[in-house]
Structure 1
């Protein structure tokens, strides 16, 4: 991750608590200095002072699960202490991003590449599980040649010669090769580019319709409508609506960042509290020409869709004047002073960042855009289900997407024309 708040802890302002706890319990608690049985568990040598009691162990650590829950905004001391300027990075950089890391590392790899100040910097995309691809023979050789070039002066590829190695090397996901199948994924073709995002990208609006369509034709309507779904959904009880394109008439590549422009509101349950916020969970899915959703390999080898995005609507404020604000990636500061009210029945227009992705849509294939009020398929161990951060008191009710002459909803997809 290159951005602790946005990439790891609070997706769109929503706490990504499940992974934080998974990582903390597995990587920190089990390995803490002074914990009994470290050597027996192969976590490292036993403590030379002897085993420490639970109370002392607790005193010696700062619990990340607690800090992330208590700290909601980037100007809190906890998050502010972890900020840095990526432009200060000057060493040669090889950022290896995984298209399957849609809930943790993918955004950080791409943004880290974009904003590092290195003269020699490269972005290489891979697929597969979080750990395994780095040990494939061909990937090891890429890493070795890069390190040899800058650490030994043995540049047999041209990493240290400006313009010799293209800065961006992509793997293109075409077809359905299954998931968690390393050999099958090696069939994906590769292509180099000179920049990210790709300069020839055609950012194309796909409009949502009340009939649950997704079309490049702007809807012409004089009537206002809305589609509704229950708020406070979860992986066990998904609450969502989906919008689907017609079959693509020709093969089409989608590679880059995505933005969703939505008009949303919330209304209360008759017997519930007054809701004061809306959590948006967005997903992009690909349906093959055979009518089957294509699943890709996620971080833990699990089946995942193309990509996801999130936004807590009270943190909808963007900063268009910020140098990192881009048409394809709205910039949010996520400060305590940025919080805006969410009042029931009021309609709010929001631009939601969806993480970058790649897919080659085959002729006859379809794209599905999903709006949900909680985690849906593909979230795996990266769920957002903390009962305090996502409380009934704050979120329970009905969420709505509004349509009409003043309420256009669309997803801007990065279409890549052939070279």
Structure 2
């Protein structure tokens, strides 16, 4: 599919900026805390409208400085004390100043080191002009492009621009970097999806009724029309040109990139960030993958220092730092909560990864090296959820230390007792030698997470061979193939990439159930209401 200008479904603002503490702003310049701060700077766009940005730059104007830009739907006016809003996030309040906006770089830190920081609102949001579109379709990316070039041309700028930020502030980097603005010299995307449909809207084809409705509403603060993502998700249930427009064109990205991903953001950013690193065409690119809380990791002083070295090289032209000696990939091989080892690698995915088949035995609830000698069937109810859920559970106990790193997939043979579809949720956990759950960092603030997650709506089982690779079956989502009750179907399920070390005596637990495992989704629209049967071999 080629990039086209789509006719978006629009709606009135989902909330007024005043309801979020935002008031109409006018341009203001002031000097405070060693910075020149310019608020509500109007940036002309090709659309005839303006984007609006807050600019922080060193008070000493004796020389032009490089610029770090963040493009945000969360409000440039809105400093976000993560330590206070999300006290379990691990983001220490001493690591960033009160000027720091949500998931954006700290202006105090960077201006003290000879950089300007620009926080720009997504065009059309808050008190902006024009229509807001989201998740970086072509229109939004072009507005970001125009902002980069206009900022680079300011007399206080040295013409070199880098990008920074977490989540949406990383997603927007993928999209604008694919347009290759001349002044854009490097990017630092931290935890950002690259395929909105597969990684946010519909995991495995199953509608996300938890995070997506929340975030769509949160992005919608404006005074004029905004893209109606909720309505579009209903009007476009299958993969089409709308969702293609929101898929980052990673193969077009050429600028140097420091990509920070995690194995802990299962269900949101893990897949997209790793796919981003894998597919970008940048000759100079580095990847760090951790299993920690994402905001904590982004603001951690040693990680901020690594970002500074990267920007110094590509925005200031410094050759006397450590970047050239960095390994291309640095992985955290976890053992348990915040314990494990860091290892340098030459690539991702690992070329030496061995895709090892294991087999489920319904009679013994074991995971074995060979198929079971007798056929078996495990049945559970598709609507059973919560702590007393019935599910199919299989364990594998390790007799020696074993590392699992890379892509994971499951091939299941399943049937439903009624209806013409079924939702299947799978997860991998770690148990210690006493059969106690070894919880993992999960999302931004939780400590009881899985090792890996996977999902599939059975009618979406058709695989796209062009996007798939060994260990990573990617569903096409272009059409549905409904089920017949009491007929067994093969389901190839992508579990998101992970890394975990299992010690001798510890167990890998594989769970299959009909309701969501890690996030509480609204199950009222489930296509299946009866039993689900899992067959082996």
Corresponding position of 2:332: 171
For residue 384 of structure 1, the aligned residue among 508, 513, 521 is: 521
Corresponding position of 1:54: none
SS of the residue corresponding to residue 347 of structure 2 reads coil
> Equivalents in 2 of 1:173, 1:116: separation in Å?
26
- Distance apart, 1:233 and its partner CA: 3.6
Confirm whether residue 315 of structure 1 aligns to residue 460 of structure 2: yes
Equivalent positions of 1:14-413 (< 5 A) are 14-25=206-217, 27-29=218-220, 32-34=221-223, 60-75=225-240, 77-159=241-323, 161=324, 164-174=325-335, 176-177=336-337, 185=338, 187-210=339-362, 211-221=364-374, 224-235=375-386, 238-246=389-397, 248-268=398-418, 275-302=419-446, 303-320=448-465, 322=466, 324-336=467-479, 339-376=480-517, 379-380=518-519, 383-385=520-522, 387-388=524-525, 390=526, 394-403=527-536, 408=537
Residues 225 and 125 (structure 1), Cα distance of their counterparts in 2 relative to 1, 3 Å cut: same
Asked whether the equivalents of residues 239 and 374 of structure 1 are also in contact (C-alpha less than 8 Å), the reply is no
SS of the residue corresponding to residue 281 of structure 1 reads strand
Asked whether the equivalents of residues 15 and 386 of structure 1 are also in contact (C-alpha less than 8 Å), the reply is no
- Larger-gyration structure (1/2): 2
SS of the residue corresponding to residue 23 of structure 1 reads helix
Residues 155 and 334 (structure 1), Cα distance of their counterparts in 2 relative to 1, 3 Å cut: farther
> Equivalents in 1 of 2:291, 2:234: separation in Å?
32
Asked whether the equivalents of residues 234 and 375 of structure 1 are also in contact (C-alpha less than 8 Å), the reply is yes
CA RMSD between the two structures: 1.9
- Distance apart, 1:111 and its partner CA: 0.6
Corresponding position of 2:89: none
TM-score (norm 2): 0.61
> Equivalents in 2 of 1:367, 1:134: separation in Å?
30
Asked whether the equivalents of residues 265 and 444 of structure 2 are also in contact (C-alpha less than 8 Å), the reply is no
Corresponding position of 1:38: none
Residues 103 and 84 (structure 1), Cα distance of their counterparts in 2 relative to 1, 3 Å cut: closer
> Equivalents in 1 of 2:329, 2:357: separation in Å?
25
> Equivalents in 2 of 1:69, 1:238: separation in Å?
29
Structure 2 unpaired stretches of 5+ = 1-192
- Distance apart, 1:130 and its partner CA: 2.8
- Distance apart, 1:287 and its partner CA: 0.5
- Distance apart, 1:296 and its partner CA: 1.1
Deviations 1:275-330 (A, max 9, x none): 1101110000000123211101112311211110001111111133x1x3211111
Corresponding position of 1:51: none
Asked whether the equivalents of residues 130 and 298 of structure 1 are also in contact (C-alpha less than 8 Å), the reply is no
Q: Paired residues, what number?
A: 343
Corresponding position of 1:7: 199
- Distance apart, 1:235 and its partner CA: 4.0
Corresponding position of 2:161: none
Deviations 1:234-282 (A, max 9, x none): 4476341100013x111111111101011001112xxxxxx11011100
Residues 316 and 116 (structure 1), Cα distance of their counterparts in 2 relative to 1, 3 Å cut: same
Deviations 1:93-139 (A, max 9, x none): 11111121001000011111111111111211123223121111111
Asked whether the equivalents of residues 333 and 501 of structure 2 are also in contact (C-alpha less than 8 Å), the reply is yes
> Equivalents in 1 of 2:235, 2:296: separation in Å?
35
> Equivalents in 2 of 1:198, 1:399: separation in Å?
35
Residues 290 and 156 (structure 1), Cα distance of their counterparts in 2 relative to 1, 3 Å cut: farther
- Distance apart, 1:92 and its partner CA: 0.8
Does 229-238 or 294-303 show the bigger shift?
Answer: 229-238
Asked whether the equivalents of residues 425 and 516 of structure 2 are also in contact (C-alpha less than 8 Å), the reply is yes
Q: Which has the higher strand share?
A: 2
Query: Which structure is richer in relative contact order (CA contacts within 8 A, separation 6 or more)?
Result: 1
> Equivalents in 2 of 1:328, 1:398: separation in Å?
28
Structure 1 unpaired stretches of 5+ = 35-56, 178-184, 269-274, 409-419
